[in-house]
Amino acid sequence: MNELPFCPAIAFPAYLNPVIVQLGPIGLHWYGLGYVIGILFAWWYGTQLLKKKTLWHNDCPPMTPEKLGDFVIWAAIGVVVGGRLGQVLFWDPYYYFTQPAEIIAVWDGGMAFHGGLIGTIIAMILFARKNHIGIWTTFDTIAAGVPVGLGIVRICNFINQELWGNVTHVSWAVCFPNDPKYLPRHPSQLYEAFMEGLVLFILLALAIFVFKALRKPGIVSGLFIFGYGVARMISEIFRVPGEDPQWFSTLMHNTGFTYGMALSLPMVLFGIYAMYRAIKYQSS
């Protein structure tokens, strides 16, 4: 095994391995476990909110905790299928269409949040209509706990040594062993874990418990979508851009506006609309 060159920053911890345990051809990966923990936490947190009737409009939760439990399978399918198809269609369609077997290799990473969001929204709409539940209140219930899962998955991105940041000389820069140049880089995955996970979760909790946002269906959903979009656009400043589509690279050449920003900007605008709609609807 070749020794790595000298790192003028923080060396990536050698004990961090993407695979937790390997049993023959089957391995338990941090990435997959992160998604499982995130979905289960959002379900548990949502049930706790549903039990607190005073948080909801007219002290009437939109569904029972048991009914939310029925949505877990729907959510898992929406997240995994939507996230993977988002990665395939938004980011690298040529590679996946020429290597179709790789499309199902979710254990190797490669899940697009924007696709996962679309998949989950579709699942929520179908679930809400099937069970005669308000779509916005369903979205609010789920969105409240999602940031925790986002933060965990970003930490898993760090463990996988993927989506690392631009070269920098800040004191907390990290050298990733899978970086061919082995240069100090922003640990942009951890920035995203902080913004999309901790900060966004706290903002939603304040909106729910201090400002009683669940009484206005759509506020929590809108704040979540808006907050993620802003956090993602900020993190893109520090993150090495992905393989942007050729048409986009040509259009935005030397502007600093990345494909990730382009996918996130509509989220910011839609989040603002959702919050405005909720406030206007409640006051009318």
Bridge-based pairing state of the strands 19-23 and 26-29? antiparallel
Per-residue pLDDT, 265: 97
To the nearest whole number, what is the mean pLDDT of the chain? 91
Q: Are 172 and 187 in contact (CB under 8 A)?
A: yes
CA atoms within 13 A on the CB side of 233: 16
Per-residue pLDDT, 194: 98
| CA distance linking residue 47 with residue 44, whole number of Å | 5
CB atoms under 10 Å from CB of 273, counted, come to: 14
Q: How distant is the alpha carbon of residue 77 from its chain centre?
A: 15
Per-residue pLDDT tens over the stretch 259-284:
999 999 999 999 999 999 999 987 65
State what percent of residues in the chain have pLDDT above 70: 97
Of 27 and 184, which is predicted with more confidence?
A: 184
Q: Residue 47: which residues within 8 A CB-CB, separation 6 or more?
A: 65, 68, 69
Per-residue pLDDT tens over the stretch 10-64:
989 989 999 999 988 888 889 889 989 999 999 999 999 999 999 999 999 999 9
Global pTM value? 0.91
Per-residue pLDDT, 108: 64
Q: Residue 34: which residues within 8 A CB-CB, separation 6 or more?
A: 149, 152, 153, 155, 156
DSSP classification of residue 258: -
How far from 197 is each of 52, 149, 152, 159, 228, CA to CA, in Å? Answer: 23, 7, 7, 16, 9
Residue 1 pLDDT > 60? no
Q: Residue 134: which residues within 8 A CB-CB, separation 6 or more?
A: 62, 128, 217
Domain boundaries, the chain: 27-162+171-207
Task: State yes or no: 277 annotated in a binding site.
Answer: no
Confidence category of residue 3, pLDDT binned at 50, 70, 90: low
Match 């040594």 to its residue by tokens: 161
Per-residue pLDDT, 82: 92
Per-residue pLDDT, 218: 97
Task: Name the 3-class secondary structure at 175.
Answer: strand
Beta strands in the chain (DSSP E): 10-11, 19-23, 26-29, 174-175, 184-185
Confidence category of residue 109, pLDDT binned at 50, 70, 90: low
Q: Residue 182: which residues within 8 A CB-CB, separation 6 or more?
A: 4, 5, 7, 175, 176
Which structure tokens are listed for 40? 């289960």
